[in-house]
Chains A and B, each alone.
Chain A
Amino acid sequence: AQSVTQPDIHITVSEGASLELRCNYSYGATPYLFWYVQSPGQGLQLLLKYFSGDTLVQGIKGFEAEFKRSQSSFNLRKPSVHWSDAAEYFCAVGVSGFQKLVFGTGTRLLVSP
């Protein structure tokens, strides 16, 4: 069965420091991968997605993610974190003819001054 693992429940990063959020997936076919962010009181917002091609994907808000098939990973990165990045981040894989998403449990990012 398809699954997504986000091993870090909470991460605290100093403002201005770099960030990497980990995501591993289990899926038999070519994965379609997504990162979403949920800020307090907001809905889930799509940061970026990978379907094919270049394995380094650029997203909104200065985020990027790299697809590594050999490691079944799709880690999210940002070179310099801003206080407004504090939120919960979800990795997901698209399945069932791309009409359904399987999510990880999320990583809550805290940004310290």
Chain B
Amino acid sequence: EAGVTQFPSHSVIEKGQTVTLRCDPISGHDNLYWYRRVMGKEIKFLLHFVKESKQDESGMPNNRFLAERTGGTYSTLKVQPAELEDSGVYFCASSQQSTGNYGYTFGSGTRLTVV
């Protein structure tokens, strides 16, 4: 089966611009998660979708971040406007409803650099 796909793999944007990251989960996985790793820090939870609904968005840093999962398939994470501190690697993961984080599969991440 195809894994979790994220694109772009790298993005370099200027401060104040908008960037949209995309995640395609494994087909049939209802759970979709976004995590972020700022350089040198731990990987931090951003939010969790169950199908198209936001189950937990307690980790979203501020209202410049908007995540969507229309139709319960792929998800996008938009940063608008981007700030320097948004630089980092953004990971997406998915799992089946019944397994939660027992059965996470992570994507390879999107490295975002804001200059």
Contacts and interface: CB of A to CB of B under 8 A. Distances in A.
Given A43-B4, A105-B40, A106-B42, A100 B104 contact: no
Given A43-B4, A46-B104, A100 B41 contact: no
Interface in A22-76: 32, 34, 36, 41-46, 49, 51
A10 B43 CA distance: 17
Contact of B48 (A43, A49, A92, A100): A100
Q: Chain A, interface size: which category?
A: 20 to 34
> What size tier do the contact residues of chain B reach?
20 to 34
A107 B48 CA distance: 26
A94 B45 CA distance: 11
A90 B43 CA distance: 9
A97 B42 contact: no
Contacts of A34: 101
Interface of A is mostly: strand
B91 A43 contact: yes
Given A42-B108, A103-B44, A97 B100 contact: yes
Contacts of B107: 43
Contacts of A101: 35, 43, 45, 101, 104
Closest 10 CB pairs of A and B: A44-B106, A43-B108, A103-B43, A98-B100, A43-B106, A105-B42, A103-B42, A94-B101, A99-B100, A100-B45
Interface of B: 3-4, 31, 33, 35, 40-45, 48, 55-56, 91, 93, 100-102, 104-109
